[in-house]
Amino acid sequence: MEWANDKSKGGVLAHLERLETQTNRSRKNLDPQTETAESALEAKIHKLRCLRDKLRAEVKERQARVKASTASVEPDQTLEVNEQEAVEGKQENMKAILQAYRFTGLSGKLTSRGVCVCISTAFEGNLLGSYFVDLVIQKPLRIHHHSIPVFIPLEEISAKYLQTNIQHFLFCLCEHLNAYAGRKYQADQLQSDFAGFLAGPLRRNSLCNLLSFTYKVEPHGQSFPFCARLLYKDLTTTLPTDVTITYQGTDALSTSWEEQRVCHENLFLTKPLHQVFTSFTRKGEKLDMSLVS
Amino acid sequence: MRTEDLTSTEKTEQSIKKVLQKHRLSGNCHMVTFQLEFQILEIQSKERLSSVITDLNIIMEPTEYSELSDFVSRAEDRRDLLMFFQSLHFFVEWCEYRQRTFEHFKEKYPEAVRLPEGAVSSCMAVRSPREPGFELIIVWRIQIDDGGKVLPKLDLLTKAPRRALQLDETRVLETAPRGFRALLGVLGIEAALESLVKSLGVGEDH
């Protein structure tokens, strides 16, 4: 295969001649060193091929096991003699399946008017609240009632997508709700677990996309030298888009304070809020250890 | 989807109740089959109830989609069940769209279009029937980024005879990949591919 990067001089025939003489020359100069290197590589290739085949066989075995375990449930159900037990078993299974769908973040159940969709939120493995939207299947599709908080732009999202692409409507709503739940979780964690680092309460709006607080870095320090303002302009993310940190300590502004200030700004932009403060705690512990030794 | 639920409860001092739920569920998203095992720890104290996924294991049946394995390990590490389901859904949708698009072009221009990897190909080769030395290869990868967002990434590779490269003073072939990306932004995927195929003189009567 020739790719579009190679250019040669003297035309195709001359090039072919050159290639021919090159191969003839290299055949004559068979180096014993290259021969052993070649055979060593060949042995390596053989070894890797055997390993690959072994892994492939293992994968096939696991596949078969998975298939067997999912298939083995059915024969058990058919062995059930008592009809009522069979029906109850199926009911339990349906309930379990419905519950399982909640873990996907988006689940629903049919209602007399249409469908009630349940959106579950989570952040970093923590399962947070759920919200529902009750839809009436009519032309036009409309929302009968819902538990979406008022500061989530539901009207905007439904105006854009509800009538044309209901899947996109649900996913968009899901995004907003998950992001809000994640931001709220971070703010709650900061307030409850790191209250000692804050001077006064954490100020936030209901959408949790504008936070402001005054904090210190050392757990045993007396003053709270930094003032932070976090703005999350993108409502579908859990990390801020704008971070402003101002130094308001009583010491003269030295380079080390300025370095810290810039470093903090970067930290808040890239890590979740409570994790930033966890790293402050760890740094503080490290300093204490150095004092002891 | 099928699920099994085994629950164990533990009561500790000061009326803090801990419940560990173990779940196993298996299911499929179109042609992709998976089995999940995860544990949820529920801690109920006086002030609050917290539910945390403490362990997540995802077993995927091997597919032709190699991009999935990285994504699956990330989801496991972060115990992010929601991201797993949502990204998987979008990923499979994109794969199906890619397959439909490539098959459409193969049907429309059977002599010029070739799918080197078969039905679930991630690339499409277009060759001009009059000048078989020229070939345009469109590579369409579907990536899942760190945050779980599914993004299509298309690139163009060109193949031409050496003589043609020598005659190519305006370096059209060299700049083709960049031009293709710009074209995608303007026309979208299907129209861009259509215009590429047409540019090789396919479908013209001579």
For A196-238, how does the pLDDT look when each residue is reduced to its tens digit (9 = 90+)? 888 888 899 999 999 999 888 877 777 777 889 999 999 988 9
pLDDT one-digit tens code per residue, A52-94: 888 888 888 888 888 877 766 555 555 656 788 888 888 888 8
Residue B1 confidence (pLDDT) above 60: no
Binary contact (B162, A100; C-beta < 8 A)? no
Q: What is the pLDDT of residue A154?
A: 92
Contact A163, A140 (CB under 8 A): yes
Q: For A115-129, what is each residue's pLDDT tens digit? A: 899 999 989 888 898
Measured CA to CA, the distance from residue A274 to residue A213 in angstroms comes to 13
The residue ranking higher by pLDDT, A6 or A261, is: A261
What pLDDT does A134 receive?
92
Confidence of residue A173 (pLDDT cuts 50, 70, 90): very high
Residue B11 has pLDDT above 60, yes or no: no
In this prediction, residue A287 has a pLDDT band, given cuts at 50, 70 and 90, of low
What mean pLDDT value characterizes chain A? 82
Read off the pLDDT band of B6 (50, 70, 90).
low
**Which residue in chain A has the smallest CA separation from B147?**
A237
Buried b (16+ CB within 10 A) or exposed e, A235-270: eeebbbeebebeeeeeeeeeeeeeebbeebbebbee
Q: What is the DSSP string of A12-65?
A: HHHHHHHHHHHHHHHHHT--HHHHHHHHHHHHHHHHHHHHHHHHHHHHHHHHHH
d(CA A230, CA A235): 13
Which of A127, A175, A178, A191 should we substitute to test contact with B (largest number of B Cβ atoms within 10 Å)?
A127
Task: Specify the 3-state DSSP secondary structure of B26.
Answer: strand
Angstrom CA distances, A49 to A38, A45, A58, A59, A259, stand at: 16, 6, 14, 15, 53
Residue A283 pLDDT > 90, yes or no? Answer: no
DSSP state of B206: -
Subunit contact B61:A63, Cβ cutoff 8 A: yes
- Contact predicate B148/B83, CB 8 Å: yes
Question: Tokens in use for A193?
Answer: 């677990």
Parse chain A into domains and list their residue ranges. 2-66, 92-173, 194-291
CA separation, residue B141 to residues A252, B74, B106, B179 (Å): 54, 19, 18, 18
Which class is domain A92-173? alpha beta
Confidence check: pLDDT of A187 > 50: yes
Higher pLDDT, A286 or B82: B82
Q: What is the mean pLDDT of residues B161-185?
A: 83
Nearest residue in chain B measured CA to CA from A172: B86
Predicted TM-score (pTM) of the model is 0.69
pLDDT band of residue B164 (cuts 50, 70, 90) is confident
Task: Determine the 3-state secondary structure of A163 from DSSP.
Answer: coil
CB B129 within 8 A of CB B110: no
The candidate with the shortest Cα–Cα distance to A179, out of B47, B92, B82, is B82
pLDDT in tens, A238-257: 999 999 988 876 666 677 77
A158 interfaces chain B, CB cutoff of 8 Å:
no
Which amino acid would we find at residue A52?
R
Contacts of A12 in chain B (CB under 8 A): 162-163
